[in-house]
Amino acid sequence: MSAYSILAKYYDRLMGDFDYRGYTEFIRDKLGREGVDLACGSGEMTIALAKLGHKMTGIDLSGEMLNVATLKAKSAGVDVRWARQDISQLELAHKVDFIVCVCDGVNYLSYSQLPSFFSKVKSYLKSGGVFIFDISSEYKLTRIIGDNLFCEDYDDVTYVWSNQLGDGYVDMELDFFERLEGDIYKRVEESHRQYIHTRDQLVGLLEKDWTTQIVDGETFRDADVESKRLVFVCNLA
């Protein structure tokens, strides 16, 4: 089954430890009026930025994720434009002040796709625009995620997440067991692949066009070799 077809239903619960509030506080004074959230998922960051008064568009490949995001925005009382699109083929109607891509969106692009992706992002930013994205780091994907198994059990669903480390990527297999009634469960499988990008690789691709600050995605202070998430704050050079 394609990525996020079932995960969309439980994504926010499983991402409960992601510090959206801290992330938003870190970036809020770096942003202009209008922005785009790429690989927006369930829209958590998109909606948070809309609540701060930014004119937001959320883009994601998963229709299921966008359905969740649309309902959440309506419940939150914010006006967000949603669009289904592959971020590697990014097309915007006009230039914006900032573009963000949080929670591993760039890990879903292979290294060969990154030069074109960064070029497209640059082309859709106004003068003085900022691009902020993060990745699960090489350390996290190779030392913590790769070749490991994770499980969580809830009253309504149990999932098993198994990971196989490859040459420059991690293949992820998720098995969801949804409780239907009593002791009856439905099993749904889902597959993902995340690519491993090193800090040096990304800096090499960005240094020509961007002035970049890199911070730890949990503390929002200087990153080190054991940072599990790296946040890149890129200003047009």
165: domain CATH number is: 2.20.25.110
Whether 26 is in a domain gets the answer: yes
Cβ pair 194, 104 in contact under 8 A: yes
Whether 1 is in a domain gets the answer: no
Q: Could you say which residues of the chain have pLDDT below 50? A: 1
Range of the domain at 23: 7-136+197-236
Whether 119 is in a domain gets the answer: yes
Mark whether 52 and 116 lie in a shared domain. yes
Whether 209 is in a domain gets the answer: yes
pLDDT on residue 11: 87
Alpha-carbon span 211 to 93, nearest angstrom: 25
Whether 205 is in a domain gets the answer: yes
pLDDT on residue 13: 86
Whether 2 is in a domain gets the answer: no
Tell me the pTM. Answer: 0.94
CATH (domain of 99): 3.40.50.150
Mark whether 175 and 220 lie in a shared domain. no
Q: Which residue in 61, 86, 45 sits closest to 3, CA to CA?
A: 61
pLDDT on residue 184: 93
Mark whether 145 and 129 lie in a shared domain. no
Q: Which residue in 78, 36, 80 sits closest to 59, CA to CA?
A: 36
Mark whether 216 and 103 lie in a shared domain. yes
pLDDT on residue 1: 47
Kind plus residue range of the DSSP H or E element containing 44:
helix 44-51
pLDDT tens digit sequence for 38-86: 999 999 999 999 999 999 999 999 999 999 999 999 999 999 999 999 9
**Number of domains making up the chain:** 2
